[in-house]
Amino acid sequence: MSTRDSFLSTTGLIRAPSSVSTYRPARQAKPGGTKPEKTPKHKVPLTATRAGVIPLGPAFIVGIVVVFSLIFILSISCAFVGSEDDEPPFKSFLDDIATNNPGILLIGDNVDVDVDEPSITIRWSMLGCGSAFVLPGSEGTHGSSLCGIPSMPLTAFIDSSNEPAATYDPMQFPVVDKINRRLSIQDLCQFDSDHVLDVHQARLYPFDTYRLTSTLRLETANGTEAVALRALTTLKLTSSFAISPSDVESKLNVSGKGYVPSRDIVLEIRRPHEARLFAMLLFGASWMLVHVTIGFVAIAWLTREQERVVQSLFFTFIVLLAVPQLRNAMPDAPGYDGVLLDSIGFFPQMLCAGASAIVLSIMICTHGLRSLNNTAHKVEEKALASTDRRASKGLERLRRQGSSVDFRHLRSWSRAAFVGSPGQSIPESSAVV
């Protein structure tokens, strides 16, 4: 018998099942039974989706956070890379002096500002720029091949002092045989000078500004001739302060010598912008923590929950300990001398946090006393209730006993009392019942 494929099967919309695709292995019956064993189905756990998107797992999220944290740390650590290759801070300045105005100059290699004294200490280095002023074999100081140790003996004076602050002798420097160069020994060509700062704006920390004005002059070692200073300058940035130096030529009247050439330097000292930013951020963070303690007091007052009050008091004590630490973490922070930052920050913050702790402690004590009073009232109420129960039980017992009194003994007593003579009897109808 011939078969004919339908239109759907020829077009491919319906395919006839093949023997391979429809073959299923026969299922064997369980031992001792006739029913075939069911094929075990492997259940695949379903994953919950949100809007058709499978959410990320906790382990994957933690791993991503760790990776981004490491990338961030490595990125900011790159700030230390290449710092040794930076140009020395005085190189371009020294090259310009050697080219346009050669001579002797003083460089402030180190500036130490102490706002608590208040004072400033500057370490000066004597340098010569230009071939006529440089000791042979000492070139290359501060990265400049045109400057080095001065070639002449010198004596340095600070302000109007007649006593020399330092003496310099180029013949004391040793020479290295292998390279035929002189070593720049710091103690032989450097000296320190201490100055008092103008502290009229010291109260405005971290926006405090200090000012220093000083005069320096040089003479030859024998004191017979004054040496003109070509320049005075210092570092422009230290770890805690930004310095703006400016110098100008001047003349100083020296006793016995008249007016001799000198040079004045003016230093404007202020905090770096980064230090100001960090100090103000810590100042704001302290106030925010104090505001949170005030909010906890308000919430505890409204809710009156003992557990919440205790938690608020614990957090307030943490703030009382954290605010001084934030104050000490400010860059080069002054002492607790009443600067403006403390007048509007630290002292009010400690007062507010302390007042919050006191209020919360009073609330805890009040709640405890109220609980004791409630407990005492409950004990009294229980005692009264037990007394009332005992009284009611006694009355109930008396009622029950009164309702069950037997009067038959009274009847026998009345008969014995009224039947006194022989032959006299009381009829039962006249007996007391």
**Domain segments of the chain as ranges:** 90-271, 275-379
- At 407, is the secondary structure helix, strand, or coil? coil
The more confidently predicted of residues 13 and 102 is 102
Q: Which of 1-15, 40-54, 188-202, 269-283 has the lowest mean pLDDT?
A: 1-15
Average pLDDT, the chain: 80
Helix ranges, 117-243 (H): 186-189
Question: CA triplet 282, 110, 327: central angle to 5 degrees?
Answer: 15
**Which range in 195-199, 354-358, 386-390, 401-405 is most confidently predicted, on average pLDDT?**
354-358
Q: Percent of the chain having pLDDT more than 90?
A: 34
Mean pLDDT value across residues 337-363: 91
Whether 356 has a pLDDT exceeding 60, the answer reads yes
CA nearest neighbour of 142 among 205, 186, 174, 197: 186
Mean pLDDT value across residues 274-290: 94
Q: Percent of the chain having pLDDT more than 70?
A: 75
What are the φ and ψ backbone dihedral angles of 219, each rounded to 5 degrees?
-135, 160
Mean pLDDT value across residues 201-209: 88
Residue 120: alpha-carbon gap to chain centroid: 31
CATH class of the structural domain 90-271? mainly beta
Pairing outcome for strands 166-168 and 175-176: unpaired
Buried b (16+ CB within 10 A) or exposed e, 362-383: ebbeeeeeeeeeeeeeeeeeee
Quote the pLDDT of residue 417.
57
Buried b (16+ CB within 10 A) or exposed e, 297-335: beebeeeeeeeebeebbebbeebbeebeebbeebbebbe
| CA 25 to each of CA 40, 42, 43, 143, 223: distance values in angstroms, whole numbers, following the listed order | 14, 18, 21, 90, 119
Mean pLDDT value across residues 246-275: 90
Buried b (16+ CB within 10 A) or exposed e, 385-419: eeeeeeeeeeeeeeeeeeeeeeeeeeeeeeeeeee
The more confidently predicted of residues 111 and 57 is 111
Contact 327, 343 (CB under 8 A): no
Could you tell me the pTM of the whole model? 0.67
Whether 430 has a pLDDT exceeding 60, the answer reads no
Q: Which amino acid is at 41?
A: K
Quote the pLDDT of residue 2.
47
CA nearest neighbour of 249 among 266, 236, 235: 266
- At 314, is the secondary structure helix, strand, or coil? helix
Residue with tokens 């200490």: 121
Tens of pLDDT, residues 114-155: 888 888 999 999 999 988 898 888 888 888 888 988 988 999
Whether 189 has a pLDDT exceeding 60, the answer reads yes
Tens of pLDDT, residues 383-422: 777 776 776 776 667 666 655 555 555 556 556 655 554 4
| CA 21 to each of CA 12, 16, 17, 24, 40: distance values in angstroms, whole numbers, following the listed order | 17, 10, 7, 8, 20
Tens of pLDDT, residues 70-121: 999 999 888 877 666 677 888 899 999 999 989 999 999 888 988 888 889 9
The more confidently predicted of residues 282 and 4 is 282
